[in-house]
């Protein structure tokens, strides 16, 4: 359990802007083996981010007028909090992938563009549209039910951080070792680390479904069976988005980079919200 906690806190430091007290950070420590093992806690980091953003958005829905515009405002501010907590790490990856793959059909040139720190037209437009779609979908779900929005945020942040682990497992990292910040962490993932990520995934899903069935907190005209079907649709939509991205990265780049993992998280999160909204 001590090792599990240290790996989780190391992952939290890597993937978020949440700072640990110095004594706690010193206790966690760092080494290449720990860093690779902490990759499996990526979905666990998503559980924390989704819970914080979900509770924050839920509180805003209680304070704001009970209208569609109120839900939209809450969704926008909740999205701003998620960007602040992660330091726009995944949005940056999405922008780089859009610039690289949109700016050139040549593999080498695409990889070079993705390493450029400047954001081009493809990246700017893609991130803008992604945030716009995210706020709109969350506003729609919040207008249906505040509790449903919290459930969607928690599960989407966990699910969208699980698929990148499969990308690491199935594809090779084509980042430049001398310039990549993620090479050490995403170069490989052990079966144990992958199992840790899957454990986070199923734990979050089981706890969320159990809470709904036991308390019936989602105040909408849906039976438990209908809600489970809606969540299943959202999962399938997110999975299909991951399959499409994985095939695209494999065909265009011959593998993945750290930016590809961030883009995968963003697109799969959006697909989850879209699948849930459509199913309702």
What is the reported pLDDT for 218? 57
Most confident by average pLDDT, 27-36, 90-99, 141-150, 175-184: 90-99
Q: Which residues pair with 173 in a beta bridge?
A: 256
Instruction: Write the DSSP string, the chain.
Output: -HHHHHHHHHHHHHHS-PPPPHHHHHHH---HHHHHHHGGGHHHHHHHHHHHHHHHHHHHHHHS-SSHHHHHHHHHHHHHHHHHHHTTHHHHHHHHHHHHHHH-SSHHHHHHHHH-SS--HHHHHHHHHHHHHHHHHHHHHHHH-HHHHHHHHHHHHHHTTTHHHHHHHHS-B-S-TTT-SSHHHHS---HHHHHHHHHHHHHHHHHHHHHHHHH----SS--HHHHHHHHHHHHHHHHHHHHHHHHHHHHHHSSB-HHHHHHHHHHHHHHHHHHHHHH-
* Average pLDDT over every residue of 158-171: 95
What's the CA gap between 273 and 235, in Å, rounded?
9
102-153, pLDDT tens digit by residue? 888 889 998 988 888 888 899 999 999 999 999 999 999 998 888 889 899 9
18-33, pLDDT tens digit by residue? 988 888 888 888 777 7
Q: Is the pLDDT of residue 184 over 70?
A: no
- The pLDDT > 90 percentage for the chain reads 59
Q: Is the pLDDT of residue 274 over 90?
A: yes
Residue 88 Ramachandran class (φ > 0 left, ψ -120 to 50 alpha, else beta): left
What is the reported pLDDT for 178? 58
67-71, 81-85, 174-178, 264-268, range with the lowest pLDDT: 174-178
Number of CB atoms found within 10 A of residue 264's CB? 27
What is the reported pLDDT for 215? 64
What is the reported pLDDT for 224? 72
- The pLDDT > 70 percentage for the chain reads 92
**Residue 247 neighbours by CB under 8 Å, 6+ apart:** none
Given pLDDT bands bounded at 50, 70 and 90, which one contains residue 232?
Answer: very high
Considering only CA atoms, which of 112, 119, 116, 113 is closest in space to residue 95?
Answer: 119
CA 206 to chain centre: 18
Residue 13 Ramachandran class (φ > 0 left, ψ -120 to 50 alpha, else beta): alpha
């Amino acid at each position: 359990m001590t090792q599990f906690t240290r790996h989780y806190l190391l992952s939290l430091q890597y993937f978020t802007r949440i700072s640990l007290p110095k004594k706690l950070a010193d206790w966690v420590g760092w080494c290449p083996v720990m860093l690779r093992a902490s990759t499996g806690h990526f979905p666990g980091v998503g559980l924390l981010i989704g819970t914080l953003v979900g509770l924050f958005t839920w509180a805003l829905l209680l304070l704001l007028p009970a209208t569609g515009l109120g839900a939209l405002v809450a969704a926008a501010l909740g999205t701003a909090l998620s960007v602040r907590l992660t330091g726009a790490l995944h949005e940056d990856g999405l922008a780089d992938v859009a610039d690289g793959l949109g700016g050139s059909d040549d593999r080498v040139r695409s990889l070079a563009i993705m390493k450029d720190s400047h954001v081009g037209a493809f990246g700017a437009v893609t991130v803008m549209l992604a945030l716009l779609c995210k706020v709109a979908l969350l506003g729609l779900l919040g207008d249906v039910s505040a509790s449903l929005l919290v459930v969607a945020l928690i599960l989407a942040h966990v699910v969208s951080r699980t698929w990148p682990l499969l990308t690491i497992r199935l594809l090779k990292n084509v980042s430049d070792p001398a310039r990549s910040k993620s090479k050490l962490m995403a170069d490989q993932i052990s079966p144990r680390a992958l199992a840790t990520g899957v454990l986070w995934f199923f734990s979050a899903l089981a706890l969320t479904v159990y809470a709904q069935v036991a308390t019936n907190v989602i105040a909408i005209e849906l039976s438990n069976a209908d809600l489970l079907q809606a969540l299943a649709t959202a999962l399938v939509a997110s999975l299909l988005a991951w399959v499409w991205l994985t095939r695209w990265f494999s065909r265009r780049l011959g593998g993945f980079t750290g930016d590809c993992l961030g883009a995968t998280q963003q697109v799969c999160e959006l697909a989850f919200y879209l699948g849930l909204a459509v199913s309702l």
